[in-house]
A = this chain, B = another copy of it.
């Protein structure tokens, strides 16, 4: 019997199927150092033990996106190694702080299936969760991917499309009760702007850009132990180039967005997102943000939530989110340089009264 893993094709998935994904991963300070080197991240809760500890954390936390990329990477061999396209994320919730030394493992449950009309592939919806070594759920998310069908003669499964909320409700955000934002001093980040200062619809221009090289995107993707082959083997891509892992673009854009959102201390949720166009080595990424909404957090005076739209654009700066879309055949579509449109929610200190 062949020992080569072939992964799952569309016909192998069934509703309610549960995958306990392979190979747990202990996250270390080494991973965090690499994450800073690979993305340029400067968010303070992952940089400084002193600051995190003063707010009530045990010590500095593992960057939310580093943990997410590792947890997601674990799902690839079972869920998306035969994917044609990663269609989307929804309801990504960051539930507990993760510290160096924690060991993460991931689990997925199939919650939706829809065969494409041509019978060659289908969409698989999974509800995923990542657990730490104490079996505490640290993150949950929904993801859907288009997966090839191997045996096209097999009948299509019943179509089930899960109902997906477009946004994680503010009441479902998890804010560590042991953490106080009141103790946060904005001198720490050098920006005075806190939750109270941002307005709905306000646009934020992030001045820095970052050119992507082959080594840095592949090092990142290997760090996350994400074995999706398009990122490592140019011969597999229709572009004859290695495709940059979309998660790396999210991380680079989040790092670039630091300048203008310095006090967006942690990510509470990703409401949705799409990788609008591919990125390749040599492309320079710029980021632009817009405030979509702002919410008070129930029972908390010290911290508020901002719902943000984060656009990443290659080789071009945006002055306005409107420039991300263009008219084509009477439809509004992403212009060719837009590589990411992410809808996410951050936690930010509030002005003390």
Contacts and interface: CB of A to CB of B under 8 A. Distances in A.
Central interface residue in A28, A198, A235, A260, by most chain B CB within 10 Å: A28
Interface string A232-270: 111110000010000000000000000111100000000
Most buried by B among A6, A31, A197: A31
A198 B40 contact: no
A230 B22 CA distance: 39
Contacts of A21: 190
A34 B24 contact: no
Contacts of A133: 49-50
A33 interface: yes
B78 A193 contact: no
Contacts of A37: 34, 219-220, 222-223
A22 B206 CA distance: 17
A98 B336 CA distance: 48
A321 to B, nearest CB: 15
A191 interface: yes
Contacts of A49: 26, 101, 103, 133
Contact of A28 (B32, B189, B190, B234): B32
A218 B205 CA distance: 23
Name which of A26, A77, A103, A235 has the most chain B CB atoms within 10 A of its CB.
A26
Contacts of A60: 26
Contacts of A101: 49
A306 to B, nearest CB: 11
Contacts of A47: 23-26, 225
A174 to B, nearest CB: 23
Contact of A33 (B206, B223, B261): B223
Given A33-B33, A211-B242, A78 B190 contact: yes
A261 B3 contact: yes
Kindly name the residue among A50, A191, A197 whose own CB sees the greatest number of chain B CB atoms within 10 A: A50
Contacts of A222: 36-40
Nearest to A1: B197
Which of A78, A208, A261 is the most central at the interface, judged by chain B CB atoms within 10 Å of its CB? A208
A207 interface: yes
Contact of A24 (B22, B30, B44, B205): B44
Contact of A42 (B23, B40, B187): B23
Contacts of A188: 22-24
Contacts of A214: 211, 213, 215
A51, A207, A222: which has the most chain B beta carbons within 10 Å? A222
A18 B48 CA distance: 22
A199 to B, nearest CB: 10
A141 B149 CA distance: 49
- List 4 tightest A-B contacts by C-beta distance, closest first: A30-B33, A22-B190, A215-B215, A30-B30
20 contacts: A3-B193, A4-B204, A4-B207, A5-B260, A22-B188, A23-B189, A26-B49, A29-B100, A36-B225, A37-B223, A38-B219, A38-B222, A50-B103, A77-B190, A209-B232, A209-B235, A211-B232, A211-B234, A216-B218, A216-B219
Given A33-B223, A36-B225, 8 more contacts: A4-B204, A26-B49, A40-B225, A47-B225, A49-B101, A207-B229, A208-B232, A211-B214
